[in-house]
């Protein structure tokens, strides 16, 4: 069974600085998708970024980028120029490419932005 | 565009009571899901429906039933609520294509006393 591990329950960063959130996963599959979701205090789950395992190039979305290391089964999220609105829980998630509908989530990292 | 709509937003039940959480999406998505979120445990899949007319168990299905009423609607029923079912429940949907992400509703906070 696939598992997703986020080893940092809490992180904090100074406004305008850069922070990296860690995620590792365990799978025997070669093709899959990885996601980062953000959950602000409003409780809404918002997709931040996604990565296809067959793509070597790391995904980027504005200030958000990932460092995808397939061999190490690592998928970290880098937030550049941190803003107060980035304060939230961040969840890493995994899904097989096909045959399994299940999206497996990590336990989350709470990110605090220090003004 | 409303996206995924869940009702109610909050609910308090007594042990043994029943209730149905409603979910509807207006994005013409094929697949729909019910997750529960508990502190320190992330989101866990209760049930999902890959397409209209089909439902399957997820990680934590015990104590729940679901109905995929039509393509838009996917309800979650607690027949006899227990304190262990106190949680935040999220409905989600996606197109069903392999690359498509989940779109979530705003969640229902359920307390069982």
- In chain B, which residues have pLDDT < 70? 1
Q: What is the pLDDT of residue A2?
A: 79
Q: What is the pLDDT of residue B1?
A: 61
Q: How far is CA A8 from the centre of its chain?
A: 12
E-state strands within chain A: 3-5, 10-14, 19-21, 24-26, 32-39, 46-52, 60-61, 64-69, 74-79, 88-96, 104-105, 109-114
Q: Tell which of B31, B43, B94 to mutate to test the A interface (max A CBs under 10 Å).
A: B43
What are the backbone dihedrals phi and psi of residue A82, each rounded to the nearest 5 degrees, phi first? -55, 140
Residue of B nearest to A45 (CA): B104
Residue of B nearest to A40 (CA): B106
Cβ contact A42–B106 (<8 Å): yes
Spatial separation of the C-alpha atoms in residues A31 and B11, rounded to whole Å? 40
Of B42, B90, B107, nearest to A106 by CB-CB distance is B42
CB A56 within 8 A of CB A42: no
CA distances from residue A76 to A59, B54, B103 in whole angstroms, order as listed = 11, 35, 22
Q: What is the pLDDT of residue A99?
A: 59
- Biggest CA–CA distance in chain A, Å, is 45
Token pair of B68, please? 């995929």
pLDDT means over runs of 10, chain A (115 residues):
91 97 93 94 93 92 96 97 97 81 89 97
On chain B, the residues whose CB falls within 8 A of the CB of A102 are 45, 48, 58-59
Q: How many CB pairs under 8 A join A and B?
A: 49
CB A113 within 8 A of CB A82: yes
Cβ contact A101–B31 (<8 Å): yes
Residues B89-99 pLDDT 10s: 999 999 877 77
């Amino acid at each position: 069974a696939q598992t997703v591990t986020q080893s940092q329950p809490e992180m904090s960063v100074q406004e305008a600085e850069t922070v990296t959130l860690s995620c590792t996963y365990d799978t025997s599959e070669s093709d899959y998708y990885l996601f980062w979701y953000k959950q602000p205090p409003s409780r809404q789950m918002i997709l931040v970024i996604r990565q296809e395992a067959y793509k070597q190039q790391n995904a980027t979305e504005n200030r958000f980028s990932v460092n995808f290391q397939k061999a190490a089964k690592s998928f970290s999220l880098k937030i550049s120029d941190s803003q107060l609105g980035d304060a939230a829980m961040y969840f890493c998630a995994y899904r097989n490419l096909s045959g399994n509908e299940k999206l497996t989530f990590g336990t989350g990292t709470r990110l605090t932005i220090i003004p | 565009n409303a996206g995924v709509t869940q009702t109610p937003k909050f609910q308090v039940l007594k042990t043994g009571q029943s209730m149905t959480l409603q979910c509807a999406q207006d994005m013409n998505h094929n697949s729909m899901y019910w997750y529960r979120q508990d502190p320190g445990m992330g989101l866990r899949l209760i049930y999902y429906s890959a397409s209209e007319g089909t439902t399957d168990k997820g990680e934590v299905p015990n104590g729940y039933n679901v109905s995929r009423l039509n393509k838009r609607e996917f309800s979650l029923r607690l027949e006899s609520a227990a304190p262990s079912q106190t949680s935040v429940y999220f409905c989600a949907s996606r197109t069903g294509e392999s690359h498509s992400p989940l779109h979530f509703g705003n969640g229902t906070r359920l307390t069982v006393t």
